[in-house]
Chains A and B, each alone.
Chain A
């Protein structure tokens, strides 16, 4: 079955960087887009960006341009999300999700369990 398993919780100081992983299994890794979302405490979902695992091309939300990098390792079927220059507003639960359409129909049938990132001095 399709699974996305994310790395564990992180605590970072303001100004630091964080790199999260999303290990996928149960499907052909290079056939499906992977997107990242986040949800701050008590807030709604926010889209961060997407990566196309076959070639590694990406699109990012304008708000995070220059601060976020999505990469992938096809040998381990893992996607990574790095976010730099963290501040308290980046404290959130971060999710990776697979676009089940195989294109950009933007629907997500499998989600990671979420990784809590806490930014605090």
Chain B
């Protein structure tokens, strides 16, 4: 069965410090991978998505970046965190043909709660 891992679960970082969040997927090949952020009381904002190794699409201009060094690994990074980067970060995957026949169903990881002080 497919599983998705995210770590760390919680993170407290000072403003201006770097960030690296990692997400890995098991049990599937060639997934689409996504990074979302949920700010307090808000919905899910798509930050990045990737359809393959080294292919990254950015949705929102910001000081975050993403990389996909391996098929099932997705990394979210920042060189200098801002207060506004605080939130709940979620990684998700989808695969063509799973259940509904298209890429539309996504499977989410447990999330990382980031607090920037």
B is bound to A: no
Which of A's residues lie within 8 Å of B, judged by CB? Answer: none
Which of B's residues lie within 8 Å of A, judged by CB? Answer: none
